[in-house]
A and B are shown apart, each in its own frame.
Chain A
Amino acid sequence: MSQVQSARDLDRDLILSADTVVVGSGAGGAVVATERALRGERVVVLEEGPSVSAALLGSMRPSESLRHVWRDGAFTLAIGVGDSPSINVTMGRCIGGSSVLTGAVCFRTPDHVLDHWTSVLKLRDYTERGMDRYFERVEKAIHVEEVPAEMRSRSTQLFALGARRTGLEMQPMRRNTRGCNGCGRCNFGCPHQAKMSVDLSYLPRAMAAGAEVWSHCLVQRVLRKGDRAVGVEGRTLGPDGRPSRRLVVHARRVVLAAGAWHTPLLLRSSGLGRPELVGHRMTLHPGFRVLARFDSPVQGWQGALQSGWVGDLEPQGITLLSLFVPPGVLGSTMPGVGPEHTSNARHIGHLAMFGGILHDEGGGSLYRTPGREPLALYRMAPRDRARIPTLIRALARSFFAAGAREVFLPVLGLRGVDADAFARLDLERIPMNRIECASQHPLGSAQMGAFPEHSVVDPDGKLWGMDSLYIADGSIVPTSLGVNPQLSIMAIATRIADRMR
């Protein structure tokens, strides 16, 4: 079968067998499935979400993509515990997983992060040299290229100008695109098949090599015989979206790649892994944005969505990244109600935007609930909390240096502030429950490590103490990265696929 098969309308149980069954068709799962299928193995990929074509993505409004392709319509929250902001954590739920929704940004794992993994965490093979070939392989498969400066949106150009005036240097972004026309829709799925998400770059190769890829298949637990994983079971999802027919895949090897939000739930429901480690220490790269109003039109949604970044603040655990959101989302960030809000919203076309993420220590925990989705809590480390004002200042000062009239900060209910008011603002005293924070990068909820006492999987992605059960997704990334993670996840997944026994 060279197409994704849907289990939605099946009127029978779905019972399959394979050499390798992969749970989740996102960045990690698609890579392992393809690598193993290319070796001649019988591979089955099970995905909970639907398959959505580029043409369909192109005909959707952004909010339609949210309701059909994003998990929970993007209403997913990690609740802030203690003095922490609550964080809106978004992810995809479709064939291709979150890779379908990326801004296509590609970073290799930074050297200083790999140094930490090798020297402190003793993950000895994760050196720059050791990982080089895996990165190269993935970059070729997903066509990573540098975004030309002429594709930068005016929003990004303005930020670059201001940043330079404050001593920060914008670097060009690398993205996994081929023939991108800069229409700026990336986060809602690319209608032009220009973003080389895994549903376009990897899964077709897997299917051509004989892999079966199934949508509407919700895996609920791992089947085991003693200390061997022998398959998975769950339910197909019927036309009403509810669990329908029985789903069983018998396999010699099981690969969990349901993402950092769901893989720990599968481990827990299967009684696998150490409970004190599974689902804990999750990092999120908490992200913040600043909007700036200029006198002249910006129309920031025109141009490549993400085209530049600033790494000068990495020693302080901060990476600044270009981004933009559709006009409606911009509208929601305009403070006020009624006439005040609508008058602010009239400036949407004059707004520029830039964001930043924290290279966080992690403090996220996931708990099972009676429903399908986990309860997520996040306790931000004091070190990371202290970095939020630095991040916001860097963004706002750059915009003022480029001539912005006022900035809108990620502080709920705060009106726009001009340069004078900004200078007087005591950012350190703003309560965390007023901070607006988002994450697209849940990682590290079932970490890889060199020692079974401290980690869930070994350096090859194999669950400690179990044969033939692997994890190959964002959950095993052992620390936050400080940069967008898809390339790291895919390179690690390639390595895991290479070393499977």
Chain B
Amino acid sequence: MVPSRIEVPDQIRPGVGLSASDRRASLALAEALFSTPEGPPPSERLGWLIDDLDHFMAHAGPRARLAYGLCLRAISWIAPLLVGRPGSLAGLDLPLRIEALERFERSPVALAFFGAKTILCILYYEHPEAARAAGVDPSCLRSPR
């Protein structure tokens, strides 16, 4: 069971969400970020995450899209350089991608990583299975008692 999405009737119609390349880059980032020693999370969960990220960006407005896009581009371009492999982040195999991102997280431009990681984590841990794996009761903070 995955959480359904709320549409606010009084809210504006969504704008554009993520571009195809931002979806790919976000997926590469999320796959590395949430992988365990057993490997990356199930692909359906990652698919749900990227769809929800797309929905988030479509509703949160242009400034959010711009900020997230800048973070993502900084990570995609700089992280591979930190492991001596210029090219795209998605092109790195998983262990090397994780290493590149770890180095990025400790670099002077860590804020860009933090920006993208924050929103990915907020969404990811709202998935009931991800929440359960983190020891969180997925119903908490959800609906009124």
- Chain A interface (Cβ < 8 Å from any Cβ of B): 6, 8, 50-52, 56, 58-64, 66-68, 70-77, 86, 181, 183-185, 188, 191-192, 215-216, 237-241, 299, 301-302, 326-332, 334-343, 345-350, 371-373, 412-413, 431, 433-434, 436
A338 and B35 contacting across the interface, CB-CB below 8 Å: yes
Contact check, B105 vs A51: say whether CB atoms are below 8 A apart. Answer: no
The digit string for B97-138, where 1 denotes a CB below 8 A from any CB of A, is 010011001111111011101111111111000010111100
Question: Taking A50-B10, A371-B63, A413-B110 as contacts, is the C-beta distance between A342 and B123 under 8 angstroms?
Answer: no
* Interchain CB contact under 8 A, B60 and A302: no
Interface size on B, residues (CB 8 A): 62
Which residue among A63, A72, A326, A345 has the maximum number of chain B CB atoms within 10 Å of its CB?
A63
Contact A301 B10, CB 8 Å, known A328-B124, A338-B32, A433-B111: no
Q: Which of B62-98 contact A (CB under 8 A)?
A: 62-64, 67-68, 94, 98
Chain B contacts of A51 at CB under 8 A? 10
Q: Are the C-beta atoms of A326 and B111 separated by less than 8 Å?
A: no
Pick the contact of B141 from A73, A188, A345 — CB < 8 Å?
A188
Contact (Cβ within 8 A) A338 B134: no
- Chain A residues with Cβ below 8 Å from B42 are none
Pick 26 A–B contacts, CB within 8 A, sort by A: A58-B144, A68-B6, A72-B64, A75-B60, A215-B10, A240-B12, A240-B13, A302-B140, A326-B122, A329-B121, A332-B121, A338-B101, A342-B34, A342-B35, A346-B134, A348-B136, A349-B134, A349-B136, A350-B135, A371-B62, A372-B62, A372-B63, A413-B105, A413-B113, A433-B109, A433-B111
Residues A63 and B56 in contact, CB atoms below 8 Å apart:
yes
* Whole-angstrom CA separation of A265 from B75 in the bound complex: 32
Bound form: Cα–Cα A335–B103 in Å = 12
- In the complex, how many angstroms separate the beta carbon of B76 from the nearest chain A beta carbon? 15
Q: Does B27 make an interface contact (CB < 8 A)?
A: no
Is B21 among interface residues, defined by CB-CB distance under 8 A?
Answer: no
- Residues on the A chain within 8 Å of B106, using CB: 413
Q: With contacts A72-B63, A339-B35 known, is A56 near B6, CB below 8 A?
A: yes
B141 A301 Cβ-Cβ under 8 A:
yes
Using Cβ atoms and an 8 Å threshold, which residues of chain B touch A73? 56-57, 59-61, 64, 119
Q: With a CB–CB cut-off of 8 A, which chain B residues contact A348?
A: 125, 134-136
- Across the interface, do B134 and A345 meet the contact criterion of CB distance under 8 Å? yes
Set of chain B residues within 8 Å of A340, measured between Cβ atoms: 102
Residues of B within 8 A of A334 (CB): 121
CB distance from B99 to the nearest CB of A (A): 8
* B94 CB to nearest A CB, Å: 8
Interface centre among B15, B57, B102, B111 (most CB of A within 10 A): B111
Q: Bound complex: CA of A237 vs CA of B12, how far in Å?
A: 8
Which residues of chain A are within 8 angstroms of B64 by Cβ–Cβ distance? 72-75
Q: Are B13 and A50 in contact (CB under 8 A)?
A: no
- B19 at the A/B interface (Cβ < 8 Å)? no
Give every chain B residue within 8 A of A342 (Cβ-Cβ). 34-36, 133
User: Is A331 touching B124 in the complex (CB atoms < 8 A)?
Assistant: yes
CB B133 to nearest CB in A, in angstroms, measures 7
List A contacts of B63 (CB < 8 A): 72, 75-76, 371-373
B22 contacts the other chain (CB 8 A): no
Complex Cα distance, B122 from A350, in Å, reads 18
Give the complex CA separation of A239 and B117 in angstroms: 31
CB nearest to A339 among chain B residues = B37
For B3, list chain A residues within 8 Å (CB).
61
Among all A-B residue pairs, the 3 with the closest Cβ atoms:
A73-B60, A241-B12, A332-B121
Among the listed A71, A75, A331, A346, which residue makes an inter-chain contact with B121, where contact means beta carbons less than 8 Å apart?
A331
In contact, B136 and A337 (Cβ under 8 angstroms): no
Cα A436 to Cα B118 with chains together (Å): 12
Q: Would A336 and B102 be within 8 Å (CB), given that A66-B60, A349-B135 are in contact?
A: yes
* Contact between chains at A63 and B118 (CB < 8 Å): no
Task: A8 to B8: give the CA distance in the assembly, Å.
Answer: 13
Q: How far is the CB of A72 from chain B (nearest CB, A)?
A: 4
Q: How far is the CA of A436 from the CA of B11 in the complex (A)?
A: 31
* B141 contacts A326, C-beta separation under 8 Å: yes
What are the residues of chain A within 8 A of B98 when measuring CB–CB?
337-339
Asked if A50 meets B8 with Cβ closer than 8 Å, knowing A327-B131, A339-B37, A412-B114, the reply is yes
Distance in Å: Cβ of B40 to nearest Cβ of chain A: 9
A residues within 8 A CB of B12?
A: 8, 50, 216, 237-241
Measured between beta carbons, the chain B residues less than 8 angstroms from A241 are 12-13, 15, 61
Closest to B142 in A: A61
Q: Are A61 and B126 in contact (CB under 8 A)?
A: yes
